[in-house]
Structures are given as structure tokens and as C-alpha cells.
Structure 1
């Protein structure tokens, strides 16, 4: 294990982390979501306190992943690593924490939301053992205006 990886602190987010997470996503995450606001993240943390996983180094937020489990499927969202901390094991540590969470909850397979245009993410997800599922297409309908 490298010194950089061993210095990581993986933990779940709490209500006091919401503003830092939202600010982090603006600089480190690709794309935006309808739920990228304080109310949306607060609902996530309140409903499923173990779902939002954070990686920190020296007191600085350097990565996030949402590991949501609905009792049926395991879903990964918002895997984001600060640009200055990429290729240092942060995503690997976050995904390991997410996959351990899923296994403990009885999950059988994880899926990830990955933007089609984000080639860098495709390489990272592939290196972690994930592959596109070409038989399915995501269909969405906004529930708010």
C-alpha cells in the first residue's frame, strides 16, 4: 500500500458534510444532477446514512461515492475524485468501501451511473471490473419542474 493510499480516511457522510460535498462536486464531479442541492443530499443522508461515502486526506475531502441499496439492487453514483488526487488509489478505496457495504447488506451485483461522454471514467470503471451493459438503456422522467 502506498503512503498516499494509507493516508486516506474513508467514512460515511453526516449532516455537517453536506455543504462541503456539494462544493466538492462542483470542482471534481462530471455533470450535474437534479438532486445536486442541499435538500437532495440531506434526504439521502437522512434516509440511508451509510450511502454517501467520503474519502479524506489531511482533513481535505478528496473523493466521494454514493452506494445506494434499495433492498433489490446496488447502485453507484457520484464517484468523484479531486483532480489533484486522481490515480492515487482514492477511487479504488471508495469502490472497495461501497462493495463491502453492498455485500454486508446482501447485495448481489452493483451497477454504476457513468456518463457516456466521460472517457476518463470509462477507463477507471473498467479497471475496477465494471463493464457497460449494452442491453439496457436508462429511461428518466423528472418528477419536479
Structure 2
């Protein structure tokens, strides 16, 4: 994993991140557009973490902290880079960010149907909380 570099995204990464998510992420979100990514990067410049290998985008995770809880979104690894430690490195970087910010608990949004992701999150020490359900409302 010596050739893997983790860094925070900048505004210049917006288009490559959106293209990457089309190839590597399962499903899309209402905020998967230029405005959504730009606002995220402008509001919290350290939240969108990118993993690069040999100059190529290999993975992403959004590590947002609202002052109360640490939230993980869009953990995605390109199929060519899977099973090579990319997700592990991204989660370690996200957790280090949370600890530095004073966060004490991380939660992740994971699609119910994505069983491969369930295994990855379990291996990283995360577990579902069946007593909670997720309620959402689009704001547009």
C-alpha cells in the first residue's frame, strides 16, 4: 500500500469525483452533482477524502462531522482497486479526522442491498443498529 495516497478533495476534483462515482459507487444521491460536491468541499474542506494510486482515483469517502456525530458516506472503491486496502486506508483516515475533531462515534450510510459493503463495514468494526431506521426527506 506504499503507493496509496490519501488526501482531501479540492474544488478542482469535482468532475473527476462525479465521474468516479458513476463507475465505482452503487446508486446515486440527490447531491451527486457539481453543486453538491462543490458545496461540500467549500463548507468542510477536509470531509471528502480521496485515495489515489499511481495518480489514479482509487477510492472516496465523505467523513462529515457536525459537532455531534461523525457521518460516513460514499465509501467507494473502483473495481480495479478493490481488495487492496483502499477502503481500509480511507476509513482509517476518516476515523483519524474524527478523533482530531473530537468525534466519539461514527455512523455509516450503507445500502441495504449492497451485501459486499456490509462485509467490508463489518470487517472495519461497524455494525448495524436495527433499533434505528433512516428517515429522509429531499430538500429540493
Give the equivalent residue in structure 2 for 1:106. Answer: 102
Rounded to whole Å, the distance in 2 between the matches of 1:110 and 1:6 is: 27
Deviations 1:28-59, CA, capped at 9 Å, x for gaps: 00111000000000000000000000000111
Rounded to whole Å, the distance in 2 between the matches of 1:8 and 1:143 is: 37
Give the equivalent residue in structure 2 for 1:97. Answer: 93
Give the equivalent residue in structure 1 for 2:43. Answer: 47
Structure 1: which 5+ runs fail to align? none
1:59-98 alignment runs, 5 A limit: 59-98=55-94
Matched pairs, number: 140
Rounded to whole Å, the distance in 2 between the matches of 1:65 and 1:103 is: 16
Per-residue deviation, 1:6:
1.1
Q: Secondary structure at the match of 2:61?
A: strand
Rounded to whole Å, the distance in 1 between the matches of 2:100 and 2:139 is: 32
Give the equivalent residue in structure 1 for 2:116. Answer: 120
* Length-normalised TM-score, structure 1: 0.96
Structure 2: which 5+ runs fail to align? none
Rounded to whole Å, the distance in 1 between the matches of 2:128 and 2:79 is: 24
* Length-normalised TM-score, structure 2: 0.99
Rounded to whole Å, the distance in 1 between the matches of 2:136 and 2:72 is: 17
Rounded to whole Å, the distance in 2 between the matches of 1:6 and 1:30 is: 27
